[in-house]
Amino acid sequence: MQPFTKNAITVIKNIPTGKVMTYSQVAACAGSPRGARQVVRILHTMSEKYNLPWHRIVNIKGEITIKNAAHQKALLEGEGVIVTQVLTLSLEEYQYKIDPMDFEF
């Protein structure tokens, strides 16, 4: 497994219940600020195997953009996150704010 992939999995697993991170935020914390697309790949291929809380990842605008948006919305709402009818949420309120330097790999 590539170091970035391992780091991204660690970051994703550490997102607290009721909080979200953006793809680019996960990438930065995992050591590759321009690796947001890689985070998408990791979520798509490894969420089940590594039991990742994939639903806690949204785009930089706080939007749910996956095909199964209703499922992601339901999981987030089950954690107390308010998601609007147009599938957006308040990053100001729900984003897990952590400095990328706080992760030691």
Q: What is the pLDDT of residues 67-77, one digit of tens each?
A: 889 999 999 99
Contact assessment for residue 53 and residue 12, using Cβ atoms and an 8 Å cutoff: yes
More confident residue, 1 or 69: 69
DSSP string, 13-56: HTPPTT-BEEHHHHHHHTT-TT-HHHHHHHHHHHTTTTT--GGG
| Structure-block tokens of residue 58 | 């949204």
CATH number of the domain bearing residue 66: 1.10.10.10
Single pTM value for the model: 0.92
Overall number of domains in the chain: 1
Contact assessment for residue 27 and residue 39, using Cβ atoms and an 8 Å cutoff: yes
Q: Residue 70 carries which side chain, given as an amino acid letter?
A: A
Q: Which domain holds residue 61?
A: 3-98
Mean pLDDT of the chain: 94
DSSP string, 60-88: TTSB--STTHHHHHHHHHHTT----TTSB
Distance in angstroms (rounded) separating the CA atoms of residues 74 and 93: 18
Task: Give domain status of residue 59, yes or no.
Answer: yes
Q: What is the pLDDT of residues 75-86, one digit of tens each?
A: 999 999 999 999
Task: Give domain status of residue 103, yes or no.
Answer: no
